[in-house]
Amino acid sequence: MRDHRGNWATWTFIWDQAVQRQADRIFGAEFEDAQVDVMLFADALRNVLRGAERVLGKGNTAVQVFKADVPDIEHVRNIYEHFDAYVEGIGNRQQDGSMGPDDWRPVHSKVGDDFYIVNFGAYRLDVGPARDASARLVVATLDAAGEH
């Protein structure tokens, strides 16, 4: 079977570059523009995790540290991705009771040029720490694949 770790690592690096650029845009944007950019940030961040899991494995320490640092990324990304189901009240988290019927509405907080958080009910994405966690995870991924 062909080893795809190098390709996965390369894609993980590219997605991290998207994370870093989106974070720059979020921190430098007016509040209304940042609300749009955080959607793309969440998607890119989730893809960093996906690539890292393929190279490192889900139980890897670097992956587990990332998940501890950004515990809600999968939920936040899924709410953005499946907004249609959440608007209708049939999102997975609404169906399992872990999220209220109106918690799909994001609450954004931006203070200055280095603090931005989005909340969906109890689910939270803090852009600054998430950005840093992504950078650390991509280094571990590249190292493991021999690409760094």
| pLDDT tens track for 90-143 | 999 999 999 999 998 999 998 877 889 999 999 999 999 999 999 999 999 999
DSSP string covering 93-111, please? Answer: HHHTTSS-TTTTS-EEEEE
Residues 6+ apart with CB under 8 A from 43: 77, 80, 81
Structural domain containing residue 30? 5-144
pLDDT tens digits, 52-63:
999 999 999 999
In this prediction, residue 63 carries a pLDDT of: 99
Its pTM surpasses 0.85: yes
Q: Which of 24-33, 69-78, 97-106 has the highest mean pLDDT?
A: 69-78
Residue 114 near residue 128 (C-beta atoms within 8 A): yes
**Domain count of the fold of the chain:** 1
Q: Hey, what are 76's tokens? A: 């936040």
How many residues in total does the chain contain?
A: 148
- Band (148; pLDDT cuts 50, 70, 90): low
